[in-house]
Amino acid sequence: MNNTLIAVLLMALVTYFPRVLPMAVIKNKIKSRFITAFLGYVPYAVLGAMIFPDILTSTGHLLSALIGLGIAVILAYFEKSLLKVAVCAIAVAYICEMIISRV
Amino acid sequence: MLTKQEKVLHSKHSALHDFIDGSKQSLPIALGYFPVSFTFGLMAVKGGIPVWIVILISMTNLTSAGQFAGTNLIIAGAGLAEITITTFVINIRYMLMSLSLSQKIVEGIPGYKRWIMSFGITDETFTVAAMQKKDITFSYMTGLEVLPYIGWAAGTAAGAIVCTILPESLQNSMGIALYAMFIALVIPAAKKSKAALIVAGCAIFISSLIKWVPVFSAVSGGWRIIIATFIACTIGAKLFPMEDTANE
The rounded mean pLDDT for chain B is: 85
**What local confidence, expressed as pLDDT, does residue A54 receive?**
84
Q: Which whole number is the average pLDDT over B150-171? A: 81
Q: Which whole number is the average pLDDT over B218-247? A: 78
Which residues between 125 and 144 in chain B have a beta carbon less than 8 angstroms from any beta carbon of chain A? 126-127, 130-131
**What local confidence, expressed as pLDDT, does residue A73 receive?**
96
Q: Is A8 close to B31, i.e. CB distance below 8 A?
A: no
pLDDT category of residue B164 using cuts at 50, 70 and 90: low
Give the 3-state secondary structure percentages of chain A, helix then strand then coil, rounded to 5.
Answer: 80, 0, 20
**What local confidence, expressed as pLDDT, does residue B243 receive?**
57
pTM for the whole thing? Answer: 0.69
A52-79 tens-digit pLDDT: 888 898 888 999 999 999 999 999 999 9
Q: Which residues of A touch B177 (CB under 8 A)?
A: 86-87, 89-90
Q: Is B27 close to A83, i.e. CB distance below 8 A?
A: yes
pLDDT category of residue B248 using cuts at 50, 70 and 90: very low
Q: Is A83 close to B203, i.e. CB distance below 8 A?
A: no
Of A29, A81, A97, the CB nearest to B103: A29
Q: Is B180 close to A8, i.e. CB distance below 8 A?
A: no
B70-112 tens-digit pLDDT: 887 888 788 888 888 878 877 888 998 999 999 999 988 899 9
B9-28 tens-digit pLDDT: 667 778 899 999 999 989 88
A83 at B interface, C-beta within 8 A: yes
Q: Which whole number is the average pLDDT over A43-49? A: 83
pLDDT category of residue B236 using cuts at 50, 70 and 90: very high
Q: Which whole number is the average pLDDT over A76-86? A: 86
pLDDT category of residue B3 using cuts at 50, 70 and 90: low
Question: For chains A and B, what is the number of CB pairs under 8 angstroms?
Answer: 305
Q: Is A46 close to B191, i.e. CB distance below 8 A?
A: no
d(CA B21, nearest CA chain A) in Å: 15
Q: How many percent of chain A have pLDDT more than 70?
A: 99
pLDDT category of residue B247 using cuts at 50, 70 and 90: very low
Measured over the CA atoms of residue B227, residue B228, residue B233 and residue B234, the dihedral's sign is positive
Q: Is B243 close to A40, i.e. CB distance below 8 A?
A: yes
Q: What is the ipTM of this complex?
A: 0.81
